[in-house]
Amino acid sequence: MSTTRISEPGDQRAFTYFVGVGLSHSLSPPLHDFVANSLGLGWKFVAHECDSVEEGIRLFRQPSFAGGVVTMPYKTAIMKHLDGLDEQCIKIGACNNVYRAADGSLRGANTDWCGVEGCLATASDVGKGRPALIVGAGGAARAAIYALHERLACNLIYVVNRDKDEVAALLKDTASYGPGLSVKHLDCLEAAKNIGQESDPFYIVGGVPDYEPQSAAELEGREILVHFLKNARQPGVLLDICYKPRRTRTIKLGEQYGWHVVDGTMVIGRQVYEQYRLWCGEATANMIPLQEAWTPSFPIDIWLRNCRYLLIDARCSFLVVAALTKKTHIEYGSYDNYLAKMSCAPAISTMSLGRAWVHQMPEKLRQAGLAGFQGVEMFYEDLEYMAKEAYGDCSRPEHILAAARQARSLCDDNGLVVMALQPFWFYEGLIDRHEHELRIEKLKLWFQIAKILNTDLIQIPSNFLPEKHISGDLDLIVSDLIEVADLGLQQSPPIRFAYESLAWSTYINTWEQSWDIVQRVNRSNFGCCLDTFNIAGRVWADPASPTGKTPNADADIEASLDRLRRTVDVRKIFFLQVVDAEEMETPLIEGHPWHDAAQPSRMSWSRNARLFAYETDRGGYLPILKVARVIFEDLKP
């Protein structure tokens, strides 16, 4: 194994590579760059999407190759292309790490098991020698079984998995892991209940994507997991290898029943030492500042670019600070503190991926997944067009619900969570109360859709119908919104609502007005959606002005943002949209091609000229970073 430092004469190593498919969501590149820089190596970690395993091998054969990380779908395929394999790699049947040995050969290793062992043993060593449980029978299960048996002396390991053939393959592949290992498939709840507390698992490892169980087998598997979590003689350690999102359903279940939970991002951190030991030797690996390596934030500007929407947990709005302040890293005091600030996730509206009458959902969602988005905001129009395509009609509720099921399946296939359903518009303040009742009936359908999509969030934009149709009576508006909030609380699980003021709405068109309404509604499930376009586009910008700005734009936006930082409780921000817009070359007034006498100029502007963040080359000019910085950095509970 090579122990050459990059600073030594003749050492050409300059790049560590991450090869596979679907890499843009990964946490690894900024972490490895930080470690390499802290060691003075100067290596650059490059995530390279490969169309074939041979393409990855070509990178690894270059003189500039310093080390490689391999992910799906090449963990097994790459093994036959290497010059040698380490023992663990052979046993586990998967290679996730490639290094150059002292003789110049390329060798494959597996460090996944190191991550599992490190996470479990560090959380508690009480479980050594006791039974364990693994949820799933995929590649992660093999590394988990190796770590549990070989390193933590867990000889009895239960497996919960819906597919018996996958379990059979797992049993065959792990037969060589050593004497005394017994892997048992629990295929029904009754089998789990027959296990006495003296044989219940202390370590539980989740190895399946974070999807809501749908089939009978999946539901049975969830019941088995809940049984062990709920009835354990002693709450143990639950590690979920999945980290998309970080607080998965499995993690939340563990928390609910008092288990020590470890999220999947820690598995990555625990592998760092072993990876650098292979790449540059034990002496160098011992110099890694492991505590620091796992506390800096990642350069999220990579994620924020071309991302129109960021849906955030109200308490945790720090994810994109790096982008907003143009910094590469931001230090936090501890990893736990860092994780507490990492629960926002990059998502994109299905509408932003292309309107439904041109672009079909399967391809839109596939592209969103490949681009690394973790979720989507489901635009209702997409469901209507899916229903039309399948049934020729979208007026029947059963057709919309069927479309929702298809959309959910597509999201699951592409690793996407539906973070919100929108827009439930033209609702509040209706003068015609019969129309109001029809909207309430429609909301009941939306509750069913939300449950199918597995989202608990519905967005309500402020009403922009003409004055003859809606009232500006604040009491009526608040009463209507209390009604939906209370209906949402009656759902299981409860449905939340994010109320958004649109810059062109008839009565509620500023964030101040929407925040006032949120306070008046005063329900735990009723919050606001803030939008950088709607904030800046109302206070600072005016597309009908020759300057593109309001008369006192700079002073007004500063005053508005000062009120924002002083008054808004960040816990009530359910949802943030990061959006820019194009500056008009000529005022959007009569004679402009986008002018429509029947609608406000800001509405025409929004319909035709919205941009993603950072698209200044396309004319983006709103002070969205100024607005977002206040939201991300200054707001407090």
What is the Cα–Cα distance from 616 to 564, expressed in whole angstroms? 25
Per-residue pLDDT tens digits for 103-149: 999 999 999 999 899 889 888 888 999 999 999 988 789 999 999 99
Per-residue pLDDT tens digits for 509-553: 999 999 999 999 999 899 999 999 999 999 999 999 999 999 999
For residue 408, pLDDT beyond 60: yes
What is the Cα–Cα distance from 548 to 545, expressed in whole angstroms? 5
Amino acid present at 564: L
pLDDT at site 145: 94
CB atoms within 10 A of CB 209: 13
pLDDT at site 245: 67
What is the Cα–Cα distance from 551 to 567, expressed in whole angstroms? 25
pLDDT at site 429: 95
pLDDT at site 330: 27
What is the Cα–Cα distance from 619 to 599, expressed in whole angstroms? 23
DSSP code for 430: B
Q: Are 412 and 210 in contact (CB under 8 A)?
A: no
Task: Give the domain ranges of the chain.
Answer: 15-110+268-293, 113-263
Cα dihedral 601/604/607/608 (nearest 10): -110
Per-residue pLDDT tens digits for 191-201: 999 998 889 99
Q: Are 427 and 461 in contact (CB under 8 A)?
A: no
Per-residue pLDDT tens digits for 365-400: 888 888 778 888 999 999 998 998 888 888 889 999
Low-confidence winner among 85-94, 512-521, 529-538, 607-616 (lowest mean pLDDT): 607-616
pLDDT at site 314: 24
Give 24's pLDDT tier (boundaries 50, 70, 90). low
What is the Cα–Cα distance from 42 to 65, expressed in whole angstroms? 13
What is the Cα–Cα distance from 379 to 386, expressed in whole angstroms? 12
pLDDT at site 316: 24
Per-residue pLDDT tens digits for 542-567: 999 999 999 999 999 999 999 999 99
Per-residue pLDDT tens digits for 575-597: 888 889 999 999 999 988 888 88
What is the Cα–Cα distance from 303 to 374, expressed in whole angstroms? 10
What is the Cα–Cα distance from 207 to 204, expressed in whole angstroms? 10
What's domain 113-263's architecture? 3-Layer(aba) Sandwich (3.40)
Q: How far is CA 429 from CA 92, 174, 472, 518, in A?
A: 62, 64, 7, 15
Report the phi/psi class of residue 281: left, alpha or beta, with left for phi > 0 and alpha for psi in -120 to 50: left
Q: Who wins on pLDDT, 426 or 347?
A: 426
Question: Of these residues, 44, 75, 193, 444, which one is catalytic?
Answer: 75
Q: Are 67 and 39 in contact (CB under 8 A)?
A: no
Q: Are 116 and 148 in contact (CB under 8 A)?
A: yes
Amino acid present at 199: S
CB atoms within 10 A of CB 586: 10
Per-residue pLDDT tens digits for 251-275: 989 989 999 999 887 888 778 888 9
Give 574's pLDDT tier (boundaries 50, 70, 90). confident
pLDDT at site 10: 63
pLDDT at site 27: 65
Give 339's pLDDT tier (boundaries 50, 70, 90). very low
Give 311's pLDDT tier (boundaries 50, 70, 90). very low
For residue 8, pLDDT beyond 70: no
Q: Who wins on pLDDT, 51 or 169?
A: 169
DSSP element (H, E) containing 349: strand 345-349
Give 435's pLDDT tier (boundaries 50, 70, 90). very high
Half-sphere exposure of 124 (CA within 13 A, CB side): 17
Give 460's pLDDT tier (boundaries 50, 70, 90). very high
For residue 328, pLDDT beyond 50: no
Topology of domain 15-110+268-293 in CATH is: Rossmann fold (3.40.50)
Residue 349 β-bridge partners: 377
Amino acid present at 416: L
pLDDT at site 355: 82
pLDDT at site 4: 38
Q: Residue 442 catalytic?
A: no
Specify which of 155-164, 297-306, 357-366 reaches the highest per-range mean pLDDT: 155-164
Q: Are 264 and 229 in contact (CB under 8 A)?
A: no
Average pLDDT, rounded, for the chain:
84
CB atoms within 10 A of CB 524: 12
What percent of the chain is modeled with pLDDT above 90?
Answer: 48
